[in-house]
């Protein structure tokens, strides 16, 4: 953490957390050496939400920590209502800190008569009162362009890469699950000084939920693959791990930012072809989702605290990545 020389955020700063990931909010507050703002969020019997900001925010620079993770619609609506409450309470500026940006996978139309839900969510955030958005490793980086307000896109890559460096694995290869993640895989390979392989997959079915791996470009036989992606949701990445094992690779390490881990993913990922899953706490991962210790959760609180501090002080956010040997955010 590089909030230097004991410099504080000042009296014109407030940090609040929604209910999606309160532990991450507490960690960020600790790194900033402040207390979380007081807010009461209630769910009425008919499932309506009510938000009460319990301290003055008039004229202050306010940040809300809220991943729009499961239950996505509830956490999103909670964030929107908090934004509205803070705007009406005369906050000078309100920043929505959304480590995991739900609906980011719906960034374009793949068939006729489909919505572009990521754009709709961006419009809702702006209408509700967000003056700025901070997020981490968007599924589709281009959705930053859906926003008509400043959007700071951070990456957990240095956090994940540092952990992998410390493991001192031998005879390794970085593996991209598809062509779309090749650029991210190149960054891993560059930081970790490892060779690169790319897999080719085909999606079918509603929303592309059926995945088949049919080709691996690069040498993986006898090597320990580090399979990278931005998200694990339904667990289909296990097919990539199995395909690598069939290509005579060693059991796979998986490095991802967002551990959504829905449905049967826990059962699908608990297999011999997967050695370890490295993820961040952008989304809470309770013990029952850690697959008997197979899921290793790293904190991005230092990253978010540093970015928040720099934005509040009107300093460069890109410097965070320069300091970690990453030329620019993913």
Q: What pLDDT, in 10s, does the model give residues 83-113? A: 999 999 999 999 999 999 999 999 999 889 9
Structure-block tokens of residue 310: 């720099």
What integer pLDDT is reported at residue 36 of this predicted model?
98
Residue 119 bears catalytic tag: no
Structure-block tokens of residue 173: 């290869």
Q: Which fold has domain 4-156+301-322?
A: Rossmann fold (3.40.50)
Do the domains at 4-156+301-322 and 157-298 have one common CATH topology?
yes
Catalytic residue among 187, 201, 223, 239: 201
What integer pLDDT is reported at residue 95 of this predicted model?
98
Distances (CA, A) of 43 to 49, 50, 73, 134: 5, 6, 14, 26
Q: How confident is the model at residue 206 (pLDDT cuts 50, 70, 90)?
A: low
Flag whether pLDDT at 328 surpasses 80: no
What integer pLDDT is reported at residue 213 of this predicted model?
82
Structure-block tokens of residue 252: 């796979």
Q: Which CATH architecture has domain 157-298?
A: 3-Layer(aba) Sandwich (3.40)
Give percent of the chain with pLDDT exceeding 70. 93
What are the tens digits of pLDDT across the range 252-291? Answer: 999 999 999 988 888 899 999 999 999 999 999 999 999 9
Are 203 and 210 contacting, i.e. CB atoms less than 8 angstroms apart? yes
Domain boundaries, the chain: 4-156+301-322, 157-298
What integer pLDDT is reported at residue 321 of this predicted model?
78
What integer pLDDT is reported at residue 203 of this predicted model?
65
Rounded to an integer, the average pLDDT of 122-128 is 98
| Paired sense of beta strands 172-176 and 196-204, if any | parallel
Q: How confident is the model at residue 330 (pLDDT cuts 50, 70, 90)?
A: very low
């Amino acid at each position: 953490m590089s909030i230097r020389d004991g410099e504080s955020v000042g009296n014109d700063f407030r940090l609040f957390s929604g209910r999606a990931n309160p532990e991450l909010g507490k960690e960020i507050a600790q790194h900033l050496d402040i207390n979380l703002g007081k807010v009461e969020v209630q769910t009425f019997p008919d499932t309506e939400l009510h938000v009460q900001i319990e301290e003055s925010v008039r004229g202050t620079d306010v940040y809300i920590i809220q991943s729009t993770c499961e239950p996505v619609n509830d956490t999103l609506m909670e964030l929107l209502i908090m934004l509205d409450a803070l705007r009406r309470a005369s906050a000078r500026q309100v920043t929505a800190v959304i480590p995991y940006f739900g609906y980011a996978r719906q960034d374009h139309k793949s068939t006729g008569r489909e919505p572009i839900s990521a754009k709709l969510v961006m419009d809702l955030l702006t209408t509700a009162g967000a003056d700025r958005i901070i997020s981490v490793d968007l599924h589709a980086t281009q959705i930053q362009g859906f926003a008509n307000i400043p959007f700071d896109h951070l990456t957990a890559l240095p956090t994940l890469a540092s952990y992998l460096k410390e493991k001192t694995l031998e005879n390794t290869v970085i593996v991209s699950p598809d062509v779309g993640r090749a650029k991210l895989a190149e960054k891993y390979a560059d930081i970790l000084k490892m060779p690169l392989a790319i897999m080719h997959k085909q999606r079918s079915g509603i929303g592309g939920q059926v995945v088949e791996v049919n080709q691996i470009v690069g040498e993986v036989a006898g090597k320990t693959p580090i399979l990278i992606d931005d998200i694990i949701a339904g667990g289909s990445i296990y097919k990539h791990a199995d395909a690598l094992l069939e290509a005579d690779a060693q059991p796979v390490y998986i490095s991802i930012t967002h551990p959504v881990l829905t449905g049967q993913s826990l059962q699908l990922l608990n297999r011999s072809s997967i050695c370890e899953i490295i993820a961040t706490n952008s989304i809470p991962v309770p013990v029952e989702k850690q697959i008997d210790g197979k899921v290793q959760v790293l904190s991005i609180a230092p990253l978010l605290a540093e970015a928040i501090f720099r934005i509040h002080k009107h300093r460069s956010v890109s410097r965070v990545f320069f300091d970690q040997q990453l030329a620019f955010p993913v």
